[in-house]
Amino acid sequence: MTMPFQPLPVLSLAFTLLFLGSAEARCVQDRYGNTLCPAPDSRCVADRYGNWLCSSEGGDAALDRYGNPVCGAGRCVADIHGEVWCSTQSRGSAALDRYAKAVCTGGCAPATPSACSPLKK
> What pLDDT is stored for residue 9 in this prediction?
43
Q: 108 pLDDT exceeds 50?
A: yes
Q: What is the pLDDT of residue 46?
A: 95
**Mean pLDDT of all residues in 109-116:** 98
Q: Report the pLDDT value the prediction gives residue 34, as an integer from 0 to 100.
A: 92
Give me the mean pLDDT over the 53-73 stretch. Answer: 96
* CA–CA gap between residue 32 and residue 68 (Å, rounded): 20
Percentage, residues of the chain above pLDDT 90: 74
22-31, 32-41, 62-71: segment of lowest average pLDDT: 22-31
